Structure formats: C-alpha cells, structure tokens
Chains A and B, each alone.
Chain A
Amino acid sequence: MTAAEFPSSFFLLALILVSLPLASACFAFFIKDKFAWLSPVVSSLILLITFILSVVLFFQLDSQSTNKFTVDWFYINNKSITIGFLLDAPALVMLAVVSFVSFLVHVFSAGYMAGDRGLVRYFGMLGFFTFAMLGLVMSSNLLLTFCFWELVGFSSYRLIGHWYEKPAAAQASTKAFLVNKVGDLGFLIGLMILWSISGNLEISSLTQISSSWLTAAGICIFIGVIGKSAQFPLFNWLPDAMEGPTPVSALIHAATMVAAGVFLLVRIESLFTPACLVVISVIGSITAVAGAIGALFQFDIKRILAYSTISQLGFMVMAIGLGAAEGGYLHLLHHAFFKAGLFLGAGSVIHAMHQAQLQVHGALDVQDIRNLGGLRKKLPITFLGFIICAAALAGLPLTSGFLSKELILADMSAWASSDISWRWIVVGTAWLVTFLTPLYIFRLVWFVFLSKPKDEIQLQEVPLIMRIPVLLLSIGAITFLFAQASWRLTSVIGRVLPSSNHLDVVTTAVSLILISTSLVTGYFIYRQKKLRQQSNLLSPQFYLDWANNQTIKFTFFLSGIAASFDRKWIDAFIHGVAYVQVTLANIVGWSDRNLVDGFVNGTAYGARGIGAMTRSLANGKIQSYLLWAMAGLVIFIFWILY
C-alpha cells in the first residue's frame, strides 16, 4: 500500500498486461507503409499474449496477500490522489474477457479489413481501445477510471469514424462522441460531489456516507453510465455507431465501450443510496423495453443487434438497480461472448454478401435483412456459430444467457415479492423483455438464415480466419464452460459470485414457457410474412433524435427569453448603475483635477519659481559670478570690520 514498496511480480505482470495493447498501438503508429501487412499479425499476437497473461494473473490471485497496489499521484489539500491497480476477482475476470474478445476481434479484423487503406490506423486504434478498457478495468481510483473512461470514448470515436470519408460515419462518430460527453460531464460532476463530501475516490474504500449529497453524486455518476452504456435518454448514438466497421461494433458492444458503464456500476455498487437504485432500475427497465421493441422493427442486421445490445444493457442495469448486481455482472460477461459472436457472425454475412456483390457488380444493401435469406446452406459454419449465440441471447437452456437471466429473474422476483407496488412494473418489464428477446432474434435468424433464398447469388464461405473467432465465441456462449451442470455456480465464475444460490423452479418454469411461447409466436408470425417497408412509428430511433432536437430548440427558446429579460431588465439596471457611477466619477474627477491637483500643482509651481530664482544666479556668466563673489567679499569685510 505504501508508495515506496516495490510491486510484486503479480503487479508487474499486470503492468505489462495493460501496456501490451498500448505497445501494439505504438507499433502501428511507427510502422512504415511498406510493412502494413505486418500490423494485423503483430497486433493479434500481442493481444494473444495479453489474454494469456490475464489468465495467468487470474490463477495467481489466490496466492496474493493484497490485490491492490497504489502510488501517490498528487495532493490536494494534503489529501493524496493515488493511482494504481485494484485486481480483485471481478476485475480479473473482466480483464480476461476483454482481452479474449479483443484478441478474437483482432483475428477477425485481419480477414474482414484485408485490403483496407487505413489498415494500420485501424489496428493501432483497436490496440489503443483495448488498452483504455483494460486500464479502466484495473484502475483503483475513480479519477483514474475517469481518465480511461475518456480514452475509451475517444478511441471509440476514432473507430466508429474509421471510414471518415463516408458522411454518415463521420456524423455517427461525432454524435457518439458528443452524446458521450453529456454523460461524461455527469460523471465528472458526480466525482466532484463525491470528493467534496468524502474526500475519497478510492474504489476499494468507498462507503455509504450519511449525506443527502450522496444520492446526487450517485445519480450524476449514473448519468455517465447512461451515456457510455447507452441507457434510455442517451442511447441514440449506439445504433448510429453501426456505421463503423463490424468488428469494431463487436468490440464496442461486447467488451470495451458499453461494458465500461455496467462494469463501473458493479464496481461502485456499494455507493448507491436506495433512491439512486430506484432511478437506476427504472432507467434500466425503460431502456430494456425500448431496445427490445426497437430491435423488433429494424431491418438493418447490425441495427437489430445494436438495439438488442441496448435492451440487454438495460436489463443488466435494471438488475444492478434492484440489487442483483451479481446476476447483472454475470450477464455482462456472458453477453460479451454471445454478442461478440453475433456481431462477428453478422460481419461474416456482410463480408460474404459484399464479396458476392462485387463479383456481379450488384448494388444491393447487404445489411438489409429484406435482401438476405437462406444463408444456412451457403454459410454453414457461420450459421452454426450465429445460431448458438442467438440461442444464448434468447436465453435457451444450456446456454450462458439462460443462466444469468435466470439469476436476475429469480433475484427480481424475490425483490418484488411482498406487496403490490411500482416494483411490479419493473419486474413486468423484465418479463416482457424476456418474452421479446427471443422474438426479435428469431426474426433476425429466420430472415437471414432460414427463409427461402432470395436470389441465386454465388456465395462463398468466409475465410478460416473469420470463421474461427465466431466458433470460439459460440463455444463461450455455452453454459457448461462457465458453470457446471448443476445449477450452482461452482466453477471459475463462482469465485466472482459469492452468493448465487437462489435459482428457483417457478421462475425457471415461467421463463421457459415465455421463451418457448415467444419462439412459437415468432415462427407463426414470420413464417409466411413478407417484410413490409419500414413502419414509421418506430423509426428511426423512437423519436429520440427528434426529442433531442426539440430539447435543443427548447433550450434555445429558453435562452431567448433569458436573453430578452437580460436585455430589458438586467441590462437597464446595469446601465442605470453605470450612469450614476459615471456621474459620480466625473464629480470626483473634477474635484481631483481642480482641488487636489491644484494644491499639488501650486506647490510645484512655487517650488519652480524659487528654483528659477536661485537658478538665475548660476547663469553661466563669469562676470556675474565675479560680481556676486565681490559683493559677498565686501559684505564679509564689512561684517568683520564692524
């Protein structure tokens, strides 16, 4: 804990771990264009090493005496701000997941981005993105977390706008950045409030302080989470962010960007007051339902997945808000795997379709599910990975999504059990989301893979380098890797979750019924149906953009009123005061000039007169000097004689 103590090899490893992706970014920065082909290879290798290191660290955790290493950073008012690592079990698991997903995304990108002009820049920013997220996960101090938080936002801005020559991409990246800034401001204000009431930003020693400001601090920090994790009022940047390359979307959705917010919530969960938790759960439930409904009505394959992410994030945030932080965290980990798998699968589909389109010089929008269909036979491996991940998203048994969803739902039922209150609404939305999720993912899978082929495009399966990551991620989406066959979480993740033993049969039965109902409903709705043109009701983003614009207009209107009030009253008052002051100043100035200065000038004038008189004796004429000398001599002689 002391600053002078030399870090043990554990923390040195952690330092190496976090700086490896940064090294990858630097490598991409300095490499020559001639060796651009090296960049994917080197970056992927570096990320592989990072992943291995994180696993090594995880298994070393038990033998460590302390899981925290800090050094003093600077002092404010004799209170030290420290930086350092806080490597407890949740952080280490998150490290492993982030580096694993990032590694697979690197490998996938090597195939997906092959031939792109900005290849080196792309891999450099991927490395930087990973570095920022790893730093955020490891940091021991909220201020340091905030720094990495900003870096995550910045690198996501660069990656979303990777194809900056596309106006939509440039716009989307700017939007993501600006919307995130709104949240970041909240985060910063929250940190300030927290600092002023407790003088402590160490994550490991955050405690409840009996202060009414704590609620404000919690809500402000949660606003940061709203921006970063795309919660209800600020989620409209996430679907737009689909303009970036698909592997970047996978990274943003699974491991780095939006996971940061939920991870932060888990980290500082002990800080939130009951009032805060209410806000969090309500916002989360609104987001979950809005995202699910949005996913149901989109046609762009990536946008569907984006709305699905919003919905799932809302689900996690809601879980944390009602005290099921463990379930929410577990769901975050599981979500990282299956959502990355879904995005990479979607990337494979887009890539394959794009290649086919290039051959026949077609101009089809390959991301529109109305133009896709029957890809099951043409892309069998991708289909396999995609369907497993989709099952995990839907929460089918034997998948990881089922497990964490059951945890959350069971906790939720226990939380709301007693009387009828507003809590029932939150729980109801959770069940609604459980019902809607299989429906929209079934719709996606049906129209992309299962329905009849649309036309006779010759598709080729994507290269091996892009198939492997999808398959690996889909393996990660299967339950028994993370929990053993019994319902108890006794495996690796079980160490993260101290009390995960309340899965009850009723919840499981109800959710199973809901999911199967939903799938059957989906089958009968979509079996025969042709997709209509986009419905206006839910386009494009729940009027959120419109609401944003209205908010801005309203703000302008308010500021107009304020401005006219300013002009008419405040300015008039200020002018009046100014006139009085100027008049007073004139009077004072006059008296100054004429009285005070007059006295001073008079003195000076008198002095000058006397000076001139005496000076006139010394006029430089030798004869007058002689005259005066003689006169003095005469006077002296007379004075002596008489």
Chain B
Amino acid sequence: MAKTDLLFYLSAFLFCSGLLIIFTKKNAIMILMGIELMLNAANLNLVLFNFQKTGMEGQFFALFVIIVAVCEAAVGIAIILKTYHYYHTSAIDQISDLKERP
C-alpha cells in the first residue's frame, strides 16, 4: 500500500508541475511539454487505480492516451512550427492577431 501511495504522490507531483509549467512558461513548446507531463500523471493514475480491481481497462486506456498524446504532440509541434515561421516567435503572448485592437 505504501508503494502505491508514493506513486499517487508522484502522479500528483507530475500533474502540479505540469500545471505550473503551463501557467508560467511563455514558450509554446514548454507549454506542450507541461501538457505531456499532465497526461503522464493521468496515465499513472489510470494504471494505479486499475490495481485495485480485476481487469486491464486502466492499462489499455493509458495506452490509448499515450497514442492520442503522440498525435496531439505531433499536431501541436507542427502548429508551433508554422506559427514560428509566420511570426518568428513561439512566445504565445506575442501572437495576438485575433484579439481586437485596443
């Protein structure tokens, strides 16, 4: 029980650090990394909670999440690359064309 408890704490830590990265980092790639961290935390939780019951649904769901995350990362990085080409920056603060001008 103590081992899994530690893993729960790890999962919470990963989630919080991912969240913090999202809130604080300016760079879009860093934000994408934060999202990955949070997804990993969620995966960890899925696997851990699956130990408490019979069946493999948790593990499989985690696999799906990993696949989706890969796709998401690929698409996300592609978007970031295009925006970088267009704006010559990947800081999300400075990309504000859709916002109405003050």
A-to-B contact residues, CB < 8 Å: 620-623, 626-627, 630
Contact = CB atoms under 8 A, between A and B. Distances in A.
Interface in B48-102: 92-93, 96, 99
B12 interface: no
B96 A623 contact: no
A622 B24 CA distance: 11
Dominant secondary structure of chain B at its interface with chain A: helix
14 contacts: A620-B96, A620-B99, A621-B93, A622-B92, A623-B22, A623-B23, A623-B24, A623-B31, A623-B92, A626-B22, A626-B23, A627-B23, A630-B19, A630-B23
Dominant secondary structure of chain A at its interface with chain B: helix
Contacts of A623: 22-24, 31, 92
Contacts of B31: 623
Contacts of B23: 623, 626-627, 630
Question: How large, as a class, is the contact surface on chain B?
Answer: under 10
Contacts of A620: 96, 99
B40 to A, nearest CB: 18
Contacts of B19: 630
Nearest to A622: B92
Contacts of B92: 622-623
A636 to B, nearest CB: 16
B47 to A, nearest CB: 23
B39 to A, nearest CB: 16
Nearest to A621: B93
In order of increasing CB-CB distance, the 8 nearest A-B pairs are A620-B99, A627-B23, A623-B23, A620-B96, A626-B22, A621-B93, A626-B23, A622-B92
Contacts of A627: 23
Contacts of A622: 92
A626 B20 CA distance: 11
Contacts of B99: 620
A158 B31 CA distance: 100
Contacts of B93: 621
A620 B93 CA distance: 9
Contacts of A621: 93
B42 to A, nearest CB: 15
B72 to A, nearest CB: 17
Nearest to A620: B99
Contacts of B22: 623, 626
Contacts of A630: 19, 23
A621 B19 CA distance: 16
Contacts of A626: 22-23
Contacts of B96: 620
Nearest to B19: A630
A471 to B, nearest CB: 102
A627 B19 CA distance: 9
Interface string B14-50: 0000010011100000010000000000000000000
A623 B23 CA distance: 5
Nearest to B96: A620
A292 B23 CA distance: 120
Nearest to B102: A620
A630 to B, nearest CB: 7
A630 B23 CA distance: 10
Nearest to B26: A623
Nearest to A623: B23
A632 to B, nearest CB: 14
Nearest to B100: A620
Contacts of B24: 623
A626 B96 CA distance: 17
A623 B24 CA distance: 8
A624 to B, nearest CB: 8
A621 B31 CA distance: 14
Given A620-B99, A622-B92, 9 more contacts: A620-B96, A623-B23, A623-B24, A623-B31, A623-B92, A626-B22, A626-B23, A627-B23, A630-B19
A623 B91 CA distance: 12
A626 B22 CA distance: 9
A633 to B, nearest CB: 11
B100 to A, nearest CB: 9
A620 B19 CA distance: 19
| Most chain B CB neighbours (cut-off 10 Å) among A623, A626, A627 | A623
B52 to A, nearest CB: 21
